[in-house]
Amino acid sequence: MSKEKAIEPSFQIQAKVVYVETESRPHHNYYFFAYKIQIKNTGAVPAQLQHRHWIITDAFGRVEEVKGPGVIGMQPKIQPGQTFEYDSACPLTTSYGSMKGFYQMMTDNGNEYSIEIPEFYLVCPESLH
């Protein structure tokens, strides 16, 4: 008797970051970054985004963790082949830093999975000089 392997969800995550100069106050150590996240279901099963966990690191290595239900007040169910996008923002006290983390997903049958959010960088253009 063979045991069937459960089909795990598969997701691709991309981030696009923009430094928002009009919202930033560099002389007051306040740098504002907007980002767009795309979550594409590349697997064969639908899954719902239950929780997020962000690890935000500034230029001095200080780490802030942000956890909570869903994203932007939603817990989207993402069907196979479907992409969910959302916009958010992150202020920093340094001109550059990074974000990474994971999403906790749940399939229709109640199985939970962590989906890694690959690290991406928040960089004020002036900090590149």
Contact assessment for residue 101 and residue 53, using Cβ atoms and an 8 Å cutoff = yes
Alpha carbon distances (Å) from 111 to 10, 48, 58, 126: 13, 10, 34, 45
Instruction: Report the predicted TM-score, pTM, of the whole model to 2 decimal places.
Output: 0.89
Q: Which residues pair with 52 in a beta bridge?
A: 68, 103
Give counts: helices (H), strands (E), the chain. Answer: 0, 8
Q: Which two tokens stand for residue 124?
A: 């004020």
**How far apart, in whole angstroms, are the C-alpha atoms of residue 80 and residue 40?**
8
For residue 9, the 8-state DSSP code is P
Instruction: Work out the percent of the chain whose per-residue pLDDT is above 70.
Output: 92
What is the topology classification, in CATH, of domain 11-121? Answer: Immunoglobulin-like (2.60.40)
Q: Where does the pLDDT of residue 4 fall: very low under 50, low under 70, confident under 90, or very high at 90 and above?
A: very low
Alpha carbon distances (Å) from 5 to 2, 8, 79: 9, 9, 20
Q: Where does the pLDDT of residue 40 fall: very low under 50, low under 70, confident under 90, or very high at 90 and above?
A: very high
The least confident of 3-17, 65-79, 99-113 is: 3-17
pLDDT higher than threshold 50 for residue 2? no
Which pLDDT belongs to residue 129? 52
**Average pLDDT of span 9-22:** 95
Domain borders along the chain are 11-121
Q: Where does the pLDDT of residue 3 fall: very low under 50, low under 70, confident under 90, or very high at 90 and above?
A: very low
Determine how β-strand 96-107 pairs with β-strand 47-58: antiparallel
